[in-house]
Amino acid sequence: MSTVPAAAPSAGQHVEVFRIGCSGPGDLRGVQALVDAGTLDPRRIVAVMGKTEGNGCVNDYTREYAAAAWCHFLAPYLGCSAAEAEQRVALVMSGGTEGVLSPHFTVFTRQPAAAVPSHGEKRLVVGIAHTRDFVPEEIGRTAQIDATAGAVRAAMADAGIADAADVHFVQVKCPLLTSAKVQDALERGAVPVTRDTYESMGYSRGASALGVAAALGEVDRAALHYGVVLSDWSLHSARASVSAGIELEGNVVVVLGEAAGSSSALRIAHTVMRDAVDAASVRRLLRDAFGLDADTDAAAIDRRLVNLLAKAEASPDGRVRGARHTMLNDSDINATRHARAAVGGVLASVVGHTALYVSGGAEHQGPAGGGPVAAILRVQ
């Protein structure tokens, strides 16, 4: 079962996106300043994607801190409790701003289009949905795959997207296993997918990504069973981005795409990095989808780029373009942290921005060692 916001959107949307820096996971002063200036209407917020400065691992509580801060911020504007705000707005907090990455929030607002747009183009739309909560033994297994697929379809409907080809990025926030959850399952006679809490993040991300792939028709549902998660890397989604965290029990899904009838002054397009140093694919994306050359049009990119949304991972075969890497063998720093730093640097070098949404752990999200990238740009 999946849920969508109580207020369904009209046939046409008007979406705005704000990238707002912060001095810490609970710092919403930049958000408040936009609200006070009349630039941002908090009642229109449908999703927030944050990059917080924790370690991005099991014990990263900056994600929970940021989500709680947003819930308490939104509650009075939405006329509900903080707990209810969490169900009405999709809050996706991704920990880890290693290297040059800068902590920030990407805020999505949505309202019905005031009139039928005259531009005749497909423009940015957004939809959200939530799955039910999972019991510990469902994480990383087919129950999570199927629930995620259902939520993606619900979020597409919420966005007004009928054709999966118009979906360019699906952001999922998923739960992980803690020692308490593992013990709960064992005491009930259930068997969790793993007893390793860090490993559970990969299983949860992987199963969720395969759910996205199934919903978008990238993978045949019949090919998906328990044994393929974190095993068959040929099964993946080119548009899934999944982040695991300790702050929730079910999946939160945000679908970003384009639709006719949208009056948004924004467009979105996507590509897939084949490995952690594949800057060329991002340059092609900017050129082919937006007509911008990363070198000669740097000023236009600086003016028009809202954000890059990307996944990063240390290649599971231990190599990048044939050369050995050591990210998987570092006992001091988790591989996901290395990957975020590496990919963050590569992307920042292309677009000249460091407040980029780069999430680590790309299991079944793009090819092994690579990952999806989406760019949101202003039309002018």
Query: Where are the chain's structural domains?
Result: 10-115, 125-256, 264-378
pLDDT of residue 116: 76
Average pLDDT value over all residues in the chain: 95
Tell me which CATH code domain 10-115 carries: 3.30.1330.170
The pLDDT tens digits of the residues spanning 191-201 come to 999 999 999 99
Which pLDDT value is given to residue 7? 39
Catalytic, out of 2, 204, 237, 243: 243
Confidence of residue 247 (pLDDT cuts 50, 70, 90): confident
Judged against a pLDDT cut of 80, whether residue 9 lies above it is answered with no
Amino acid in the structure at residue 127: G
At 3, is the pLDDT very low, low, confident or very high (cuts 50, 70, 90)?
Answer: low
With DSSP H G I counted as helix, E B as strand and the rest as coil, what are the percentages for the chain, rounded to 5? 35, 25, 40
Q: Which of the four pLDDT bands, split at 50, 70 and 90, describes residue 138? A: very high
Is this model's pTM higher than 0.85 or not?
A: yes
Digit-coded pLDDT (tens) for 216-239:
999 999 999 889 999 999 999 999
CATH 3.40.50.10140 for the 264-378 domain, yes or no: no
Phi, then psi, of 303 in degrees rounded to 5: -80, -35
CA 65, CA 62: separation in Å to the nearest integer?
A: 5
pLDDT above 90 coverage of the chain, percent: 92
**For residue 167, what are its two tokens?**
């979906």
Q: Is 243 known to be catalytic?
A: yes
Predicted local confidence at residue 219, as pLDDT: 97
In this structure, the strands spanning 90-95 and 45-52 are parallel
Confidence of residue 1 (pLDDT cuts 50, 70, 90): low
Q: In which band, very low, low, confident or very high, does the pLDDT at 8 lie, cut at 50, 70 and 90?
A: very low
Per CATH, 10-115 and 125-256 having the same topology is answered: yes
Task: Work out whether the CA dihedral 176, 329, 344, 212 comes out positive or negative.
Answer: negative
Alpha helix positions (H), the chain: 29-36, 62-78, 82-88, 142-159, 179-187, 197-215, 279-290, 298-304, 335-351
Q: Which one, of 43, 34, 51, 49, lies nearest residue 5 by Cα? A: 43
Nearest partner of 322 among 369, 283, 284, 361, judged by Cα: 369
User: Which of 5, 158, 155, 8 minimizes the C-alpha distance to 80?
Assistant: 5
Q: Which entry of 51, 173, 181, 311 is annotated as an active-site residue?
A: 173
Structurally, what CATH architecture does the domain formed by 125-256 represent?
2-Layer Sandwich (3.30)
